[in-house]
Structure 1
Amino acid sequence: MKQLFQYGPAEIDYLKKRDKKLGAAIDEIGMIERTVNPDLFTALVASVASQQISAKAAETVCARLEDQFGIISPESIASATEEEIQKCGMSMRKAGYIRGIGSAVTEGRLDLSALRELPDNDVISQLTALNGVGVWTAEMLLIFSMERQDVVSWGDLAIRRGMMRLYGKETIDRAAFERYRKRYSPYGSVASLYLWEISHQ
């Protein structure tokens, strides 16, 4: 059974009080169901494997990884060759990144369980120290694996497009983005779900 990002009346009521335009969009759209993967390692591997390819292609690559390795674990990935990982349908560079992540965990350079106790910015700092993991990837893991509640990604073009559509702007600069982000806090991740939806309308 798929696990969904959890939010409810408290978060919705807060956002509607803080921002009338967002509140109207929430009423129109209704509840949004987005799946999460609480296994941080497999979520991290899938995020790197999925970079710069379509959602359908990403599903195929992740399915091939499961076929190849069974349970995707730090041990199974670290003990594989880059060629074995690459055969699952990705570039050799991505295969190297993924193997490097497995090695970082098995060698103790990255403690995934300890990440859950850290504030968001420290999680981002640790994850972006890995080759192949940028700020946007780390932020998506905060939302869709760790279910952190207050993430609005400046680096996500769809988030910015959603803001522009919601507020009737042709462009949005960093200062305006930060004003909206602070307005949504501490439920920025829920606002992000709606901004993504608005961006596709």
Structure 2
Amino acid sequence: MFHESLLRFRVSKEEYVNSYMDGVYRRVVEDEKGDLVLLEAQEEGEGRNSIRLRMTTEGRMTKSAQNAGLEAIKHILAFDLDLGPFYRMAKDDVNLAPIVNKFRGLKPIRYLSVFEALVTAITAQQVNLTFAGSIRGRMVKRWGRKLRVDGKTHYAFPRPERLARARVSTFRTMQFSERKAEYVIGVARAALEGRLDESELRILPIDEAVARLTEIRGVGRWTAEQMLFRALGRVEVFPGGDLGVQKVVARYCFGEERVDEETARRQADKWHPWASLATTYLFAAWRAGIKPTGETN
């Protein structure tokens, strides 16, 4: 299910940080010494049940760079996530069970950090995903560090300190709205101030974690909930305010076009504490054009 997990990185050819082409996932990460490492991961073996990882640096591969690369790919591909408890819950759900069986092994792809997840979410607010990828790509090329491998340039996601010093006017030349530029700069400054402490956000009750994040300008409840799942792997969270989530819940659980947030959250209560995993599988079914249970037309 490596392929299905990574399809979202094929939306924009200008994404730059995360690339998925010809079955190979690529991204650049930075080790504790500031050295850049290009990760290239792809499925291999009978049944495609293993991952081959290639790591490349500008000079000699150091232990620090190797460790950074391994930890990054384990986090991004959710190697630590045990799907067993979720599958045991899902087998008793008449709507979810056939979808889970179809996509068995599917795991959510994570962002490398809370900071990256928030900036990515902000760039996607009120625009389509292709345009979001384009403006984010311009930001990455302007402020991200680069690594050349085999004649091709790869970019790391910009550091908070670089975006915190950026000017709104520079963002505006990249087609960012003034407000969106201010939000990105604000998130970068929040990161530098220690307000995105991942160790705390991993253990705080969901409501408290959301409240802390929504103190930052540009971060609403939906963005905060998505980040807790997408960056920290908190599968119990449920971004019920997301229109896409409401639509897939409506289609596969109620046979309708749309349900409201309250109805979606009531449904998610039945999946606790794996609500975001459930919606991950529903989205996979939607992308594959799979019909809900009982639908024949």
Structure 2 Cα separation of the partners of residues 64 and 195 of structure 1: 32
- SS of residue paired to 2:239: coil
- SS of residue paired to 1:116: helix
Tell me whether 133-142 or 61-70 shows the greater mean CA deviation: 61-70
In 2, are the aligned partners of 1:165 and 1:198 still within 8 Å (CA)?
no
The equivalent position to 1:138 in structure 2, one of 224, 234, 237, is 224
Query: Which protein is bigger by CA-based radius of gyration?
Result: 2
- Does 2:289 match 1:195? no
- 1:12-51 to 2 correspondences below 5 Å: 12-17=87-92, 19-51=93-125
In 2, are the aligned partners of 1:162 and 1:199 still within 8 Å (CA)?
yes
In 1, are the aligned partners of 2:99 and 2:282 still within 8 Å (CA)?
no
Q: Which runs of 5+ in 1 are unaligned?
A: none
Higher share of residues assigned strand = 2
1:157–1:81 Cα change, 3 Å: same
Once the two structures are superposed, what CA deviation does each residue of 1:118-168 show, in whole Å capped at 9, x if it has no partner? Answer: 222112111111111111111111111111011222212222222222233
- 1:16-165 to 2 correspondences below 5 Å: 16-17=91-92, 19-71=93-145, 72-108=158-194, 110-113=195-198, 114-165=200-251
1:55–1:111 Cα change, 3 Å: closer
Tell me whether 97-106 or 136-145 shows the greater mean CA deviation: 97-106
Structure 1 Cα separation of the partners of residues 220 and 184 of structure 2: 13
Q: State the AA in 2 paired with 1:4.
A: L
Q: State the AA in 2 paired with 1:181.
A: A
Q: CA deviation at 1:98?
A: 1.0
Q: CA deviation at 1:199?
A: 4.3
TM-score (norm 1): 0.86
- SS of residue paired to 1:75: helix
Once the two structures are superposed, what CA deviation does each residue of 1:41-97 show, in whole Å capped at 9, x if it has no partner? Answer: 122111111212222222222222121112522211111111123333311110011
Once the two structures are superposed, what CA deviation does each residue of 1:157-200 show, in whole Å capped at 9, x if it has no partner? Answer: 22222222223343535554343212101111111102223444
- Does 2:183 match 1:183? no
Q: CA deviation at 1:23?
A: 0.8
In 1, are the aligned partners of 2:124 and 2:132 still within 8 Å (CA)?
yes
Q: State the AA in 1 paired with 2:83.
A: G
Structure 1 Cα separation of the partners of residues 174 and 109 of structure 2: 23
Higher relative contact order (CA 8 A, sep 6+): 1
Q: Aligned residue for 2:85? A: 10
Q: State the AA in 1 paired with 2:281.
A: Y
In 2, are the aligned partners of 1:158 and 1:195 still within 8 Å (CA)?
no
1:61–1:33 Cα change, 3 Å: farther
In 2, are the aligned partners of 1:150 and 1:187 still within 8 Å (CA)?
yes
- SS of residue paired to 2:127: coil
Q: State the AA in 2 paired with 1:41.
A: F
Identity of paired residues, percent? Answer: 27
Higher share of residues assigned helix = 1
Q: Aligned residue for 2:58? A: none
TM-score (norm 2): 0.60
1:111–1:27 Cα change, 3 Å: closer
Structure 2 Cα separation of the partners of residues 160 and 105 of structure 1: 31
Backbone CA RMSD of aligned residues: 2.2
Structure 1 Cα separation of the partners of residues 223 and 261 of structure 2: 19
